[in-house]
Amino acid sequence: MAKGRILYVSQDIMPYTPESEGAHMGRYLPQFTQELGREIRVFMPRFSSISERKHQLHEVIRLSGMNLIVNNCDHQLIIKVGSIPSARMQIYFIDNLEYFTNHQGFYDEKGNLYEDNDERLLFFGRGTLEAVRKLAWQPHLIHFSGWFSSMVPFYLKRINKENAFFSGTKTVLSLTEDSFDGRFTEELERKMKADGATAKDLRLFHDLDYKNLMKAVITYANGIVIASPNVDPELVEFAKANKRHVVDFNPDEKAFYARINKLYDSIIGSNINN
């Protein structure tokens, strides 16, 4: 097995978010991978529902303080960190007053998607990669999960145009049973264009409901993991029609995680030893 460095970017991780198939995998797959001898880093959003006091989060000063421009406005990137001692694993949190501290999750008190969710997606995707670059820790592969992490592959391409830090970094997407009602407006396309989106990018990220968003992200990814038996069949079919590297769901967790790690090897190659 090639070792390599794997970056996990998840919208749900136990115990910070309620238990679900995605949150369970977000918690235990990185641990399994680390125990195989790989280096890992784990990032997620710091929603206001995640108690800093309960989980003993603290700000990482050396990584914080950068301003990211979203929709022509500066927004401060704040990085916090917590740990899961039983797994010997640190979790990094992307935070910002406007986008996370004042937001419970994905929906407002009326059950509607937050109006600024498009900007939150952009901030989380770019902020994660900028924090990793500031760590000077270059991943061989990024495994991202959940629709809230959908801008990671877009920014991976954008940042590579400006800086070769992520040159050669591959991506794997976990499809889960997460979903949302409604759709993103053309405002997302406009904001992506301001961040360097090409005409090809904008064709993919047009008229985005949940299915179209995930189809766009599948198109970017090097590999797909079907992380739940309840994934929308249309997305599973789309993934298998468009990707050579697809891992089907397996209820045997150990076998499933082992197969995912074989997927990593097939994508990053067998000559990675550092």
pLDDT confidence bin for 40, thresholds 50/70/90: very high
pLDDT confidence bin for 255, thresholds 50/70/90: very high
3-state secondary structure of 208: strand
CA distances from 211 to 95, 176, 205, 217 (A): 27, 12, 11, 10
Q: Are 29 and 8 contacting, i.e. CB atoms less than 8 angstroms apart? A: yes
Helix (H) or strand (E) holding 40: strand 39-45
Query: Average pLDDT of 237-251?
Result: 93
Residue 110 neighbours by CB distance under 10 Å = 5
* Tens digits of residue pLDDT in 163-178: 788 888 999 999 998 8
> How far is it, in rounded angstroms, from Cα 26 to Cα 143?
10
User: Hey, what amino acid is at 260?
Assistant: I
Range from 2-6, 60-64, 79-83, 156-160 carrying the lowest mean pLDDT: 156-160
Q: Tell if the pTM clears 0.85, that is, is over it.
A: yes
Residues 6 or more apart whose Cβ sits within 8 Å of residue 196: 158, 161
3-state secondary structure of 230: coil
For the cut 90, the answer to whether the pLDDT of residue 215 exceeds it is yes
* Tens digits of residue pLDDT in 52-110: 889 899 999 888 878 888 877 888 999 999 999 888 899 999 998 888 866 666 666 66
Please, is 251 exposed, middle or buried when counting C-beta atoms within 10 Å of its C-beta (0-12, 13-18, 19+)? Answer: exposed
DSSP 114: P
